[in-house]
Each structure stands twice: as C-alpha cells, then as structure tokens.
Amino acid sequence: MRKTHLIFLALAAFSGMAQAQTVNLEQATQMALNADPRIEEQRANVAAAQALIQKVEGEGGIRASVNLYAALAPRASNGLFTNGTNSCPAGGCTLRDDGNTINDGITVTSGITASIIKPLYTFGKLSNYMTAAKYNKDLKSDEVALAKGQTWLTVRRAYYGYLTARDTRRLLIGVRHQLADAEAPLKKKADSGNGSMRDVYALENGLGLLDKYIAEATGVEQIALAGLKTIIGVPIDDPLTVADTHITPVSMPDGSLKQFSNEALANRPEMHMAESGLAALRSYVQARKAERYPNLYAGVMAQAQYTPGRDRLDNPYIYDPLNSAFATPVIGIKWDFNPGVLNANVSSAEAELRGAVAKAQLAQVGIPYQVTEAYRNVSSLHAQIEALEKARVASKRWMISSFLDFQAGLVDGGILGMAVAGNTSTQVDYFKAVNDFNMQVAQLRVATGDYPQ
C-alpha cells in the first residue's frame, strides 16, 4: 500500500513538472524585458557612463603620489676637504674633487618621494568634460529605452505570429477533414460508374495542396513559438502555451496623425539621444579647446633619502641628494602642450559634432515619416479587416453550399475546388491582415515612444 502511494505521488509530481507554462501577451512582454541580454548590455553601458562621470570627478579631486625605492650609491667619508676633515685650518684648504668615483666603496640608498595635489583651476577642461560625461550618461539611458522598444516589438511579432500560424493551421486542418470525408464516397461512386474520376483527382489534388499549406503553417507556428520562448527566457525544450485562443484585432488607436507626430517628437528616445549627443559633443569640443591652457594646482610635496655609509652634510650651501629630506607646500602651473595633437583632437571633436547635428536633423525628418507610415498602414489594414470580415462569412457559406451540392451531384469537383480555394484564401488573408494590423499598431506605438521605457 505504501509503495503504491509513493508511486502515485511521484507521478503527480512529474505531471506538475511537465505542465506547460501559460503566458498572455503582457506577461510575455514583462518576462522579455527582464530576460533580454540586449537590454542588460545597454544597462552596462549606462554603468560605464556613470563610471566616466566618477572618473572626471576624480580628476578634479585630491590626488596623491608616493614612490618608495632602493638603489646603489657610492660611499663617502673622511670629510669635505682633502685633509680628511670637515674643517678648514689656517693656511688654507682644498675641497675634494673625487665625487664621481667609488673609491670609498658602494652602499645601498633608499628614498621616498610623495605629493598631494589639488587642481585649482583648469580653464574649463574639467567642467566641460563633466558636462559631456553627464550628457553621455543620458544618451546611454535612452539607448536602454530604445532596446526595450525593440524587445517590446519582438515579443509582439513572435506572439501574434504564433497565433496567426496556429489559427491558419487549424483552419486548413478543418477544411481538409471536410474534404477527406468525401473522398471514399466519391471513389465509390466513380468505381460504380455513377461518378467521374476527374472529380476524384480534383479532390486529391486539393488535399495534397492543403497538406502542403498545413506543413508550411506548422513550421511557421513552431518557429514563432521557439522565438517567443527565446525572447522571454524560457528554455527552448520546455513546454509553453499562450493564453489567447485566437488572433484578434487590437483596438484602433485613438488620435490624429498630427497628434501622433507631436507625441513622437516629444517622447521618442532618439530625439532625447540627439539632444544629449549634441550637448555632450559641444562640451567635449570646448574641453578639447581648453587643452591649450595650463592647469593651476596647489598641494604639498615631500622627499627623503637616506644612504648609510655617507657622512651627512648640514651645510645649507652644499646639497647631497643621497642624504636629504624636505617637505613644502606648493602652488604651480602645469602645462602639457603638443600643438599637432591638440589641433587634431579639436578637429576630430568638431567633426563628431557635425555628425551629431546631421543625425539630429535626420531624426527630426525621419521620425514624422515613420509615424505617418505606421498610421497610414494601421488605417488601411483596419479597413481591410472590416472588408475581410464580410468576405470570410460569405466564402465559408460558399464552400459549405458547394460541398453539399457536390455531395448531391449537382456540381463537379472544379466548382467545389474554386469554393474551397476561395474560402481558404479569404480566411488566411483575414488572419494575415489581423496580424499585420496588430503589428502596425505596435509599430505606431514604438514610433511615438508609447511603450514601457
């Protein structure tokens, strides 16, 4: 009894694990926005832009430099004068001149140099670089929004594409079943001489074509489902179903073309990117030009070196760098100037600025066109759907009545084939028009910036 109970629990657990996950369009969209690595890549670029801001802030802050070292140095002893002392007796004395020899041997010297420096004034370099860095971060943030828009659109392309292919496959299978039911009676009538083999062949031809279209729709359906799994982060081999039972038209967008165009110019990430890019490059050009000027700084500098084996000299007029120490506050001007490189950097920055201006102008012209194209397509497809709604009802009635007449022997296979082809074409055109309409509505929302950013 216990063994049976355990088996039952194991089967129940397996059944729960194998159950397909079901998602609707909004759930799939949210999953994709959380899973798409393209969005995460753009977020990483934003983090890099923030790091650049911090780097510029660091360039304007306090910087410290420390260098600790050890080296070889000559020994020195027996005084300052040739008499072997540091004093000069009456009668005169002579300074030693063997400073460049190692007559007294070699020893180890060690030292340290250190400085703490704070820029005081950079003639606009830091302020302009900071402004450019901040606008660069704004630009990268808009690229995140742009990536989200593409993900948002891709989810709908896969979702609607899957529903369209599935509905098309189901339609074709239904039509095939209706025709297949008539195949055996038709053959029987032809064999008995009460029917024509021409009708049998026409029916078989139609069934073969339907099989071809069913296989094509099945392939598209499977590809669309695999694409949907990929974009929302579901493993390709895991089961997945969608909540919608059929492809249906979304609501017609409410608004005029002018309203949509104005909304696009105000909300599109590309417009923000153009503004941020222009502002960033203007500041960058000014910063490059400011490289012509020096940096004013203040701080503290210190140096010490100790060499055992060398006598220490305390005379203020004689300096021995191998035995010395000092620390002092400093104020200075540092100027790194290379005219050729500087002019090239300025020219490069100005060229980038001209390119950004051209892109901004292109966005101002191209975005209204994208809105117009999507808006006109939405209007046209909406009218097509309304026309196809009527046509698909009539074509279905045509096929059913032709099928009944065919079974009754009132029409031949050619008439039935025309009715079946007409109904199938109309139904498939309807599904395609709904898919295209839904995608154009989505495209209009992306064109106006009306999507999660």
Structural domains in the chain? 19-59+121-293+335-446 (1.20.1600.10)
The one-letter amino acid at 58: G
- pLDDT at site 70: 93
Q: How many CB atoms lie within 10 A of CB 107?
A: 16
- pLDDT at site 91: 64
User: What are 219's two structure tokens?
Assistant: 């392939």
- pLDDT at site 19: 67
Residues of the chain with pLDDT under 70: 1-19, 91, 195, 353, 356-357
Specify the DSSP element, H or E, that contains 168. helix 125-191
- Rounded to two decimals, the pTM is 0.77
Integer Cα distance of 190 and 213 in angstroms: 28
Integer Cα distance of 57 and 63 in angstroms: 11
Q: What is the dihedral angle through the alpha carbons of 47, 50, 52, 58, rounded to the nearest 10 degrees? A: -130
CA distances (Å), origin 76, targets 92, 94, 149, 324 = 22, 17, 77, 14
SS3 142: helix
Contact (Cβ atoms closer than 8 angstroms) between residue 24 and residue 244: yes
- pLDDT at site 413: 72
Q: How many CB atoms lie within 10 A of CB 154?
A: 19
- pLDDT at site 22: 92
Integer Cα distance of 371 and 257 in angstroms: 8
Q: Could you tell me which residues come within 8 angstroms of residue 443 by beta carbon, excluding any fewer than 6 positions away?
A: 153, 374, 377
Integer Cα distance of 177 and 214 in angstroms: 12
Q: Could you tell me which residues come within 8 angstroms of residue 123 by beta carbon, excluding any fewer than 6 positions away?
A: 290, 293, 294, 295
Integer Cα distance of 352 and 350 in angstroms: 5
- pLDDT at site 52: 84
Only one residue has tokens 């901004």, namely: 360
- pLDDT at site 242: 94
Q: Could you tell me which residues come within 8 angstroms of residue 435 by beta carbon, excluding any fewer than 6 positions away?
A: 160, 161, 163, 164, 247
Burial of 346 (0-12, 13-18, 19+ CB in 10 A): middle
CA distances (Å), origin 170, targets 208, 312, 428, 431 = 16, 101, 11, 12
